[in-house]
Structures are given as C-alpha cells and as structure tokens.
A = this chain, B = another copy of it.
Amino acid sequence: MTSRRRSEMVEETRAKLIRAARSAFAEKGYSTASMDDLTAVAGLTRGALYHNFGDKRGLLAAVVDQIDAEMAERAHAIGSQAESPWEGLMAEGVAYIEMAMEPEVQRIVLLDGPAVLGDPSKWPSQNRCLHATMQTVQALIAQGVVKPVDAEAAARLLNGAALNASLWVAASDNPSEVLVRAVDAFRCMATGLLETPA
C-alpha cells in the first residue's frame, strides 16, 4: 500500500524541501535561514538536503528556478492575451513589476538570488525568460515596430527597469499608488524603442 516507486519518493522529498525553503528563504532571507530548521519543517534532516541539492546554494538555485519558471509562465500567459505584439511586451513588463511585489519573488529572486548565485542572466530560468522577451523584441524589430537596436540589450534593459521598479514599489509605503506611477513611467520610457512613438 505504501509501496511507491523510488523516483516518486525522491521527487516528493525534493518538493517538500523546496517548499520549506521557499517560505524560509522568503521570510528570513537566505543567510539567516537555518538548514536545520528548514529541513525539520519538511520533516527531514540536513542529510536529505546535501544528498539532493549538494549544498545550501544548490537548494537556493532549485527554489529560484522554480519561482522564476512560474514567473515566466505567468508573464507569458498575460502577454499573449494582448491585442498587439507591442502591447504584449508592455503587458509582460507590467506583469513582472506586479509579480515582484510578492515577498517570495522580491526577497529570493531579486535580492538573495543575484548575491548568492551571481548574475541572473546566467541562470537557466532567467535565460528562458529573457530569451522569450528577446524573441518578442526581435519580432517587433522585423515588423518595423521597434527600432533596429540590439534585441538582447533592449530585452535586458526592459527587464532590468521592470524588476528595479518592483523593488521600489514593494519597498514603498503606498505600493498600490506607487505601482501606477511606476507602470506609467515604464510604458513611457519603453516607447523610446518604438519606431513611431504613435
């Protein structure tokens, strides 16, 4: 009855650890979160951790990857519903700004992630996300909608501006009000990339 395959068990413990790590890292921050506490919450010990993820960084990498993948999926879903490709790009950027207001994203992906894992553009997840926006930009350039700038550079600047704006919004005293200002300015600045500012 309790007979599940080994691989299933492993995936379950990995999931349990990642789940515990997400909340621990989000609440206490990476450096303050204790591996002992973390694993205890998951009903395990540090042994499981070092066996599955190598070290503390490895666990963070797994957590970041999961969150980032969710973000990319959500952003893409939102962007693909837009009227035009350009509006899709804008909606995607705005979605990033809004998502980054969640403590998990904020603390783990934007603050601790870069410090512990290094430049985000090297992460597999971030590469996927960036690649997506890059392709959108590329397509917009081909259509003559966006000026013929370097697609990668444009994508990175858009992402960077969006993510940075979220930090501001989240840290502000009145997030919902600041969010409007941030989104406005974001859309305005982004029009610089347009061939015809319309």
A residues with a Cβ closer than 8 A to B are 29-31, 110-112, 114-116, 118-122, 147, 149-150, 152-154, 156-161, 163-165, 167-168, 170-171, 181-182, 184-186, 188-194, 197
Contacts of A150 in B (CB 8 A): 181, 184-185
Name which residue of chain B comes closest to A30, CB basis. Answer: B115
Interchain CB contact under 8 A, A168 and B119: yes
Closest CB in chain B relative to A98 CB, distance in Å: 15
SS class, residues of chain A in contact with chain B: helix
Chain B residue nearest in CB terms to A167: B119
Residue in B30, B116, B181, B192 whose beta carbon sits within 8 Å of that of A189 in the complex? B192
- Which single residue of chain B is at the shortest CB-CB distance from A160? B164
Q: Is the CB of A159 within 8 A of B164?
A: yes
- A119-B167, A119-B168 given; A153·B185 CB < 8 A: yes
Contact across chains for A154 and B119 when beta carbons are under 8 A apart = no
How far, in angstroms, from A190 to B191 measured CA to CA in the complex?
A: 9
CB nearest neighbor in B for A154: B185
Q: How far is the CA of A158 from the CA of B168 in the complex (A)?
A: 13
**CA A197 to CA B170, docked complex, whole Å:** 32
A161 proximity list for chain B (CB < 8 A): 157, 160-161, 164, 189
The distance in angstroms between the C-alpha atoms of A153 and B185, with both chains bound, is 6
Q: By the criterion CB–CB under 8 Å, are A119 and B153 in contact? A: no
On chain B, the residues within 8 Å of A188 by CB distance are: 147, 149, 154, 192-193
B171 touches A165 (CB 8 A): no
Determine how close the nearest CB of chain B comes to the CB of A153; give it in whole angstroms.
Answer: 4
Q: Pick the contact of A115 from B112, B157, B164, B192 — CB < 8 Å?
A: B112
Further 15 A-B residue pairs, CB within 8 A, beyond A150-B181, A161-B189: A30-B115, A110-B114, A115-B115, A121-B171, A149-B184, A149-B185, A153-B181, A153-B186, A156-B168, A156-B182, A157-B185, A160-B160, A160-B163, A160-B164, A189-B192
